[in-house]
Structure 1
């Protein structure tokens, strides 16, 4: 069962990695071997973390394993940390966030029955939150731009 999960994870991470590389190139004009290596490092860290989450008999979140592994391999006393940091510095955060958020949206969208159980109230709450966030951001931007004398 774990091997089937690992194969699915690898396929998913490769798809997300390719989309992230395209986003990295289109959005930030960064397409280098270092970016490919950086995505590969991030994929390997994620895979190791998922395997540890399934294998280690402790109730510990996967993101905890990701954080611990990332900190350990990026500390100055780890051999090759400079190389790993130079690779991952070529990958922009928003280029990674776009496919991950798209995948989350698709997985949430697949369960329309669960969404329907929540009801119309969740739509109202989500709309108010989005409108409030937009208006709040616009007000903050207006204040900052006025302070800087840009507008």
Structure 2
């Protein structure tokens, strides 16, 4: 458990640093302004992972993280207003970018296993990625035109 905790902390520190930089470059939020919110998010995530390991229930760790975050930000919970104010300084896209990059690296590490499935799987995977990208672009285009933004 202690080894896992050390690994989680290292991963969260690396991802947190990338988030701070992305938040600063992409959204002009100074790292010192976003640091408390990021620390809260990392703390909640670490606590959720630890709870997942300690409890015998078969819930995914994201459920514990979500429940813990929900409880800590309930309106009557002491300190919830401060937690909400701190986390408001961290952009959602600044969070998503390094996490998705980490997921991509994780998938890339098993690329050899993926190739072993055959060339058809690679072709289908490329079409799925292309379809997802084009579908997202079309939906964004329609919504932005409906709102009059473009």
Q: What is the correspondence of 1:52-131 to structure 2 with a 5 Å cutoff?
A: 52-131=51-130
TM-score, normalised on structure 2? 0.89
Equivalent residue for 2:39?
40
Question: What corresponds to 2:4 in structure 1?
Answer: 5
Residue ranges of structure 2 left out of the alignment (5+ in a row): none
- Taking a change above 3 Å as real, the CA distance of residues 143 and 84 of structure 1, as seen in their structure-2 partners, is closer
- Per the TM alignment, residue 123 of structure 1 is displaced from its structure 2 partner at its CA by 1.6
Whether the 8 Å contact between 2:20 and 2:31 is mirrored in structure 1 is: no
Query: 1:149: Cα distance to partner?
Result: 6.6
Larger Rg: 1
Q: Tell me if structure 1 keeps the 8 A contact 2:21–2:31.
A: no
Give the number of the structure with larger relative contact order, counting CA–CA contacts within 8 Å between residues 6 or more apart. 1
User: For the aligned residues, what is the CA RMSD?
Assistant: 2.0
**CA gap 1:149/1:14 in 2 versus in 1, 3 angstroms:** closer
TM-score of the pair, normalised by structure 1: 0.88
Paired with 2:13 and 2:101, the residues of 1 have a C-alpha distance of: 15
Matched-pair contact (CA < 8 Å) for 1:16–1:99: yes
Conserved 8 A contact 2:23-2:31: no
Task: After TM superposition, give the deviation of residue 133 of structure 1 in Å.
Answer: 3.0
Bigger mean CA deviation after superposition, 60-69 or 140-149: 140-149
Deviates more, 1:137-146 or 1:30-39: 137-146
The 1:124–1:47 alpha-carbon spacing in structure 2 relative to 1, beyond 3 Å, is same
Moved more, 134-143 or 2-11: 134-143
8 A contact 2:73–2:84 mirrored in 1: yes
Secondary structure, in 3 states, of the residue corresponding to 2:72? helix
Structure 1 residues 94 and 139: alpha-carbon distance in aligned structure 2, compared to 1, 3 A threshold: closer
Between the aligned partners of 1:30 and 1:116, the Cα distance in structure 2 is: 41
Structure 1 pair 134/61, CA: closer, same or farther in 2 (3 Å)?
closer
